Amino acid sequence: MAKKRANGEGNIRKRKDGRWEGRYSAGYDPETGKRSNKNVRGKTQAEVKEKPAQAQQETVGLDVARSEDYTVATWLRSWYELYAKPNVRPATADRYHLIIETYTIPRIGKIKLKKLTFRDLQKLYKDLMEHGRVQKRSGKGNPGLSSTTVRSVHLTLHCAFERAVKERLIPRTPTNDCIAPKVQKVEMKTLLPEHLKSYPDAANTRDVLPVFYLELVSGLRKGELVALLWGDLDAEHKTISVSKQYVRNPSGAGILSRPKTETSVRQVSIPQDAVNLLIQEHSKHPDNQYMFPSPVTGEMYHPDSVVKLHEKILKDAGLEHIRFHDLRHVFATNALEHGMDVKTLSTIIGHVSSATTLNVYAHVTDDMQKQAAAKIDQGIGKTEATEFTPEMEPTATMTNFRPTKERKRRWGTGSLGRNQNG
């Protein structure tokens, strides 16, 4: 009587070429009910024994028939249509579509979903970091995507593959073993105090002062700025209503969308000078709904056009190059330095929480804390702090001081004495 095989050992035999081969059950086809068998090979019998057990562990409970049907491309498209698109904002759905169709499928879309490995994904991230940019800049800039964008690709794929695990298409998501790129913080630059006049002056010379002055006193995102309508201004209460932004869909066309987060829908207070400039600007085109219509089309300014104008203004004023987004930092930095609390600033610039604001502007708040500590020290001491020297250190000496023992009061007498009034 032949020895019974152990559970998971499968059907193992030695081949004529000296290698070992084993067959194991990979489950049942849910449609036909037939058993699905797989073969494994190895140099030793022990190796072949181990492989079926491992493979069976990985495939337990999987929908074998369906998992065979999906490539990375077909699964990502299915996930997008069924789970992502119906449950997110249009702008977010467009972002997912861009990640799937532009960054992922052209590179790894043909790979079978069940055969996708973390190495495939790691190579994908590396390629995107080095050569992922779709719209190449003319002779300048990095041809690769930013670490922030590649990390967004990683998180999107993780969500999609987590869904595949729940549907029993793969045993686990390969993104678990990936090392996503760390977000590299871009150095924050701002206009120096002495440049806060030359920049507006240069903008005024180009007859575009209202849009850039408003940016300096509000810190709006460029997509929010160009999407402003005349009806968003409340001149009486000196506020701007931010309820929409310009975004680009995967085809490159510009559309209006809700701001990126719910906290980005907000009322922003502006100074009277800004209100006056906006009223003057509106008098130039009273029948146009846009606050800053393009002088060429009469429609909404394109954000890229505003960025190009910003670069020309810097050049006219003889200033060092900073990003348009850095004007948002100019506003925030000045607000903090002039006493605005972090909670109020967080609300104005549309951050999700005060923690985000503290993280972005940690260098400013650190400097403010040091200045506050110095003022407190000066206020308590009434004099400037003196530098410590070794000569100032007191020396320990013996004295003839002895404590005196006073007569103890009787219980209940308390502390009695006369005041100034007797």
DSSP code per residue over 382-401: SSPPPPP-GGGSPPP-----
- At 323, list the tokens: 């990003």
* pLDDT band at residue 69 using 50, 70 and 90 as cut-offs: confident
Percent of residues, the chain, with pLDDT higher than 70: 73
Confidence at residue 400, expressed as pLDDT on a 0 to 100 scale:
40
Rounded distance, CA 79 to CA 169, Å? Answer: 12
Average pLDDT, the chain: 80
Residue 7 pLDDT exceeds 80: no
For the ranges 13-17, 166-170, 184-188, 312-316, the one whose mean pLDDT is highest: 312-316
Residue 288 pLDDT exceeds 80: yes
- Domains (ranges, CATH) in the chain? 11-60 (no CATH), 69-177 (1.10.150.130), 193-368 (1.10.443.10)
Rounded distance, CA 68 to CA 337, Å? Answer: 61
Q: What is the pLDDT of residues 370-401, one digit of tens each?
A: 665 666 666 665 545 444 344 444 333 333 43
Confidence at residue 406, expressed as pLDDT on a 0 to 100 scale:
47
Question: Judging by DSSP bridges, how do beta strands 20-28 and 11-14 pair with one another?
Answer: antiparallel
Residues 6+ apart with CB under 8 A from 394: none
Phi, psi (rounded to 5 degrees) for 245: -150, 155
Confidence at residue 141, expressed as pLDDT on a 0 to 100 scale:
57
Range of weakest confidence among 12-26, 147-161, 274-288: 12-26
Q: What is the pLDDT of residues 178-227, one digit of tens each?
A: 998 887 776 778 888 888 899 999 999 999 999 999 999 999 999 999 99
Q: Is the dihedral of CA 191, 197, 201, 203 positive or negative?
A: positive
Which has the closest alpha carbon to 351: 265, 270, 238? 265
Classified as helix, coil or strand, 30 is coil
Rounded distance, CA 290 to CA 225, Å? Answer: 11
Q: What is the pLDDT of residues 81-119, one digit of tens each?
A: 999 999 987 778 888 999 999 999 999 999 999 999 999
Half-sphere exposure of 142 (CA within 13 A, CB side): 9
Rounded distance, CA 290 to CA 246, Å? Answer: 13
CB 233 within 8 Å of CB 275: yes
pTM (two decimals): 0.62
CB 160 within 8 Å of CB 79: yes
Classified as helix, coil or strand, 299 is coil
Range of weakest confidence among 152-161, 189-198, 352-361: 352-361
What is the per-residue DSSP string for 253-268? -EEEE--SSGGGSEEE
Q: What is the pLDDT of residues 223-253, one digit of tens each?
A: 999 999 999 999 999 999 999 988 776 566 6
Rounded distance, CA 75 to CA 30, Å? Answer: 19
Which has the closest alpha carbon to 294: 283, 286, 302, 304? 302
